[in-house]
Amino acid sequence: MKCSFCERDAIINIRYNGTHLCKEHFNRFLERRVRLEFRNQLIIEKPIKIVVALSGGKDSSVALYLTKKILGKRRDVEVEAVTIDEGIGGYRNLTLEAAKKLTEQLKVKHEVVSFKDKFGITIDEISKNGQLLPCSYCGVFRRKSINDASIELDADYVVTGLNLDDSVQTVIMNMARGDLDRLERLGPHFKRKDGMIPRLQPLRKIPEREVLIYAIVNNIPFSHAECPYASDAIRNEFREAVDKWEERTPGTKFAILNSFDEIRNLLYSREDKKEIKRCKICGAPSAGEICKSCSMLMDLKV
Ligand code: FES
Ligand code: ZN
Ligand code: ZN
């Protein structure tokens, strides 16, 4: 199959707009949308620092590569990367290796924060004595580690690799649960909150399949390793459902995310009325007296 725009062979078929694209036209098509997201989400009024939360998987690796490619040449933007080492044997070492390779290649400063150093316990250890699934602790501790590291690095923004599929699954899941608080926190964040570094999501309109193909055709180092504790059965059900809707009506995922964007301001006005407290133990912004991360650590008796 030939590219819809030139004589070269196509490498991908984009169903939602009916085109076939060669590598050059695919790169241009994807990068144009990521540039637009940066333009919509980012405010540069003074020199800023952006920290990319780099796991070493395809999404965050592409996010770092494109952040560097699109913003790295600007004198007023500094790009760094942070990787969280949760202490998961047979998995994190592989992704960490990929993350190191990419940051060296891009000449980006790279910091690694380990759960063991920060919290005194690894996810492997938690998996043996925690009351909840390892993933519940992992998500809370990872968010806190990234936010704390970004504050320490004096960052203005944190970039995450959240793609279109992740975003849509999260929107539908939280709507189905009636969990508007989580929906508010999803981001991207246009408002700066005390103690919370706003998150940028430059890949939020890029389907997962396109992120993967972009990583492969551009030889971006990343790891295919999957976390041995990942068992989000409910998310998998939502993934299947959303994929089925997209299969039947291409463009459904964009429509869901665009609808979410339309109602986002309503969520924010609801949030403005809420009082934000500070955790009595660590001082981080918290809904209750003690933040989730500190109360989990207390339960684990660390
Ligand atoms: Fe949740 Fe690894 S512990 S994905
Ligand atoms: Zn082409
Ligand atoms: Zn706390």
Write out pLDDT tens, residues 175-217: 999 988 888 888 787 766 778 899 999 999 999 999 999 999 9
Question: What atom in ligand 1 is closest to the CA of residue 137?
Answer: 3
H or E element at residue 190: none
Average pLDDT over residues 248-258: 96
At 274, is the pLDDT very low, low, confident or very high (cuts 50, 70, 90)?
low
Question: What atom in ligand 1 is closest to the CA of residue 91?
Answer: 2
Question: Global pTM?
Answer: 0.94
Q: Are 81 and 62 in contact (CB under 8 A)?
A: no
> What average pLDDT does the chain have?
93
Nearest CA to ligand 1 atom 4: 230
Is the pLDDT reported for residue 82 higher than 80?
yes
- In 107-242, the DSSP E strands lie at 109-114, 157-159, 199-200
Average pLDDT over residues 270-288: 81
Confidence at residue 95, expressed as pLDDT on a 0 to 100 scale = 96
CA 60 to ligand 1 center in whole angstroms = 15
pLDDT in tens, 42-78: 989 999 999 999 999 999 999 999 999 999 999 999 9
CA angle in degrees (0–180, nearest 5) for 109-284-277:
150
User: Which ligand ends up closest to the CA of 136?
Assistant: 1
Confidence at residue 271, expressed as pLDDT on a 0 to 100 scale = 58
User: Which ligand ends up closest to the CA of 57?
Assistant: 1
CA 8 to ligand 2 center in whole angstroms = 6
Confidence at residue 148, expressed as pLDDT on a 0 to 100 scale = 95
CA 144 to ligand 1 center in whole angstroms = 15
Instruction: Name the β-bridge partners of 111.
Output: 82
At 88, is the pLDDT very low, low, confident or very high (cuts 50, 70, 90)?
very high
Question: What atom in ligand 1 is closest to the CA of residue 227?
Answer: 2
Average pLDDT over residues 295-300: 92
Average pLDDT over residues 211-237: 91
| Protein residues within 5 Å, CB atom, of ion ligand 2 | 3, 5-6, 8, 22, 25
User: Which ligand ends up closest to the CA of 288?
Assistant: 3
Q: Which residues contact 199 (CB under 8 A, 6 or more apart)?
A: 157, 158, 159, 160, 187, 188, 189
At 265, is the pLDDT very low, low, confident or very high (cuts 50, 70, 90)?
confident
Question: What atom in ligand 1 is closest to the CA of residue 138?
Answer: 3
